C-alpha cells in the first residue's frame, strides 16, 4: 500500500488486491470532504473498486489517481485508473454489459460508467489503459 499525495491529488499504487480497499477508502474520504451525499460516496467508491479490480485482474499493477478538476464545465471529483497492461482491443465491446475477457461478469467498466457522471477510456493493445471517470461536486460544496 503506497499512498502519495501530489498537490491536491492522491495517488494509490495498485499492486495487490488489498490496494483496491485502500483506493476505495481514499475515494470515500475525498468524496466526504467534497460534500458528496452518502449514496454518491458509495457510488464513487464502488466505481473505484471496479476499475482498481480491473488493474489487478488484467494488468497486474497500476495506479489510481484521485483529484478535483473541471469536467463538462463543472467542478468534479476525478478518478483516473492507469496501467501498463495489455490494453483493451475493442473499447465499445468492453463497455457492453456481460462482455468479459476474463472470469468476471462483464459489469466492471459499464457498471462504473453508470455510477459516475462521465467516463473516458484511452487504450491501445500492448500500450496499457487509462480510464478517467468523474462525478460532479454538489453545488454549494
Can you give the residue range of the structural domain that contains 49? Answer: 3-136
CB neighbour burial string for 20-56, b if at least 16 within 10 angstroms, e if fewer: bebbbebbbebbeebebeeebbebbbebbbbbbbbbb
Tally of structural domains, the chain: 1
Residue pair 27/14 in contact by the 8 Å Cβ criterion: no
Residue 74 lies in a domain: yes
What is the tens place of the pLDDT at every residue in 115-130?
Answer: 999 999 999 889 999 9
Look up residue 60 and give its three cell numbers: 497486474
CA–CA separation, 44 vs 115, rounded Å? 7
Output the domain CATH number for residue 25.
3.30.565.10
Residue 22 C-alpha cell reads as 485502500
Question: What are 54-104's pLDDT values in tens digits?
Answer: 999 889 999 999 999 999 999 999 999 999 999 988 888 888 877 665 554
Q: pLDDT tens, 127-137?
A: 999 999 999 99
Pairwise CA distance, residues 139 & 102, whole Å: 39
- Asked if residue 126 is part of any domain, the answer here is yes
DSSP bridge partners of 121: 131
Asked if residue 141 belongs to a domain, the reply is no
Global confidence as pTM: 0.89
Amino acid at each position: 500500500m503506497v499512498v502519495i499525495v501530489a498537490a491536491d491529488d492522491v495517488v494509490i499504487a495498485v499492486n495487490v488486491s488489498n490496494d483496491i480497499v485502500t483506493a476505495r477508502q481514499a475515494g470515500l474520504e475525498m468524496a466526504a470532504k467534497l460534500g458528496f451525499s452518502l449514496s454518491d460516496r458509495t457510488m464513487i467508491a464502488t466505481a473505484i473498486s471496479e476499475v482498481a479490480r480491473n488493474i489487478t485482474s488484467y494488468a497486474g499493477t497500476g495506479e489510481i489517481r484521485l483529484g478535483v478538476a473541471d469536467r463538462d464545465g463543472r467542478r468534479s471529483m476525478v478518478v483516473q485508473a492507469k496501467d501498463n497492461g495489455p490494453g483493451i482491443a475493442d473499447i465499445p465491446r468492453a463497455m457492453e454489459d456481460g462482455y468479459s475477457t476474463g472470469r468476471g461478469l462483464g459489469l466492471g467498466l459499464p457498471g462504473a460508467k453508470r455510477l459516475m457522471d462521465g467516463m473516458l477510456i484511452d487504450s491501445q493493445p500492448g500500450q496499457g489503459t487509462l480510464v478517467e471517470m468523474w462525478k460532479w461536486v454538489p453545488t454549494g460544496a
